[in-house]
Every structure is written in C-alpha cells, then in structure tokens.
C-alpha cells in the first residue's frame, strides 16, 4: 500500500489545489471513516488546527472539484463523504442511496444500491435524484437482537 498522504497530495495537485495542512487533515479524517462525516464532527476533531471558516472553504472546494460529496441528514445538517470515483469538477456520480441510521445516526453511502428510475407527471424534468433511507444499520440491528 502506497503512502496515504502522498496519494492525497497528488489528489490535491491534480485538482489544482495547494497542498495545505487543513486540506490534508480533512482528507485524512474522511478517508478513515466508514460513513459520512458531519461538519460539526469535523470541526470538533480539527480543533484549533484550522479555523471554522477554513474548514467550510475546504469542504466547498473539495465538493466543487468532485473529491467529496455532501449529504444532508434528517436534521438538515451537512455530512461529507469521499466520492468513490468518476466524479469531477464537472459532474458528480453519487446517485446512490444514503442510509441514515436512527440509532447511531451514521450516514452510509450504499454505493451498490442504485436509485431506480422514476415516472414523474408530464412536464417535470428530473435532473437528479436524492434518496435517503432511514432505519437501523447492520451494526445497530445486530445489537438490538
């Protein structure tokens, strides 16, 4: 396995973004998690390593470049996950289902579950679909049993 930080540095360069501390740290954090990460959580773990505003701008830049994608949870707060691949500044390909666990509140990207096509009333032109499922994640429904 190649050095992770080196990979991130390449990713930044490829997207015309400077290699900075806050950016590397955000990539580090997001890549180490199995579910989408909320802005508040990121802010907390970054602590004084970066200003709040810097964090917001890092997230915005990453989203624009197609490095991460945003998912709003049931409360409307932003959560971020690294894009699997094929996403770019010009187009995101994250039309997978997101699963919001009622118990642990994690948001999973169900990359394998595609959103089924939809029949809408005449005149409506669908551009994107955004499906959030709620319920119990695999780990939480285990514990309940």
Partner DNA sequence: ATATAAAAGCAATATAGTTGCATTTAAAAT
Partner DNA sequence: ATTTTAAATGCAACTATATTGCTTTTATAT
Q: ∠ CA 29-34-35 to the nearest 5 degrees?
A: 90
Q: Based on CB atoms, which residue is closest to a copy of itself, 61 or 131?
A: 131
Selected binder of a copy of itself within 97, 106, 107, 109 (CB under 8 A): 97
What's the min distance (Å) between Cβ of 137 and Mn ion?
14
Binding mask 59-88 for DNA (x = CB under 7 A): -xx--------------xxx----------
CA 101 – CA 138 distance, rounded (Å): 9
CA 27 – CA 132 distance, rounded (Å): 24
Selected binder of a copy of itself within 53, 76, 90, 91 (CB under 8 A): 76
Contact partner, 104, from DNA, Mn ion, Zn ion, none, Cβ < 5-8 Å per class: Zn ion
Q: Which residues of 76-106 are buried (b: 16+ CB within 10 A; e: fewer)?
A: eebbbbbbeeebeeeebebebbbbbbeeeeb
Give the binding site for Zn ion (CB under 5 A). Answer: 101, 103-104, 137, 140
Q: Based on CB atoms, which residue is closest to DNA, 40 or 135?
A: 40
Contact partner, 122, from Zn ion, a copy of itself, Mn ion, none, Cβ < 5-8 Å per class: a copy of itself
Closest residue by Cα to residue 41 from 32, 95, 125, 113: 32
Query: Which residues sit at the interface with DNA, rule CB under 7 A?
Result: 12-13, 16-23, 38-40, 43, 49-54, 56-58, 60-61, 76-78
């Amino acid at each position: 396995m190649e050095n992770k930080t080196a990979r991130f540095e390449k990713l930044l360069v490829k997207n015309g973004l400077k290699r900075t501390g806050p950016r590397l740290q955000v990539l580090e954090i997001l890549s180490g998690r199995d579910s989408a990460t909320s802005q508040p959580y990121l802010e907390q773990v970054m602590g004084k390593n970066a200003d709040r505003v810097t964090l917001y701008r890092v997230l915005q830049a990453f989203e624009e470049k197609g490095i991460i994608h945003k998912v709003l949870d049931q409360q409307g707060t932003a959560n971020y996950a690294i894009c699997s691949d094929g996403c770019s500044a010009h187009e995101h390909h994250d039309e997978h289902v997101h699963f919001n666990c009622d118990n642990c509140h994690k948001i999973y990207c169900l990359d394998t579950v595609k959103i089924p096509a939809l029949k809408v009333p005449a005149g409506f032109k669908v551009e994107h679909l955004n499906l959030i499922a709620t319920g119990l994640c695999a780990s939480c429904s285990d514990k309940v049993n």
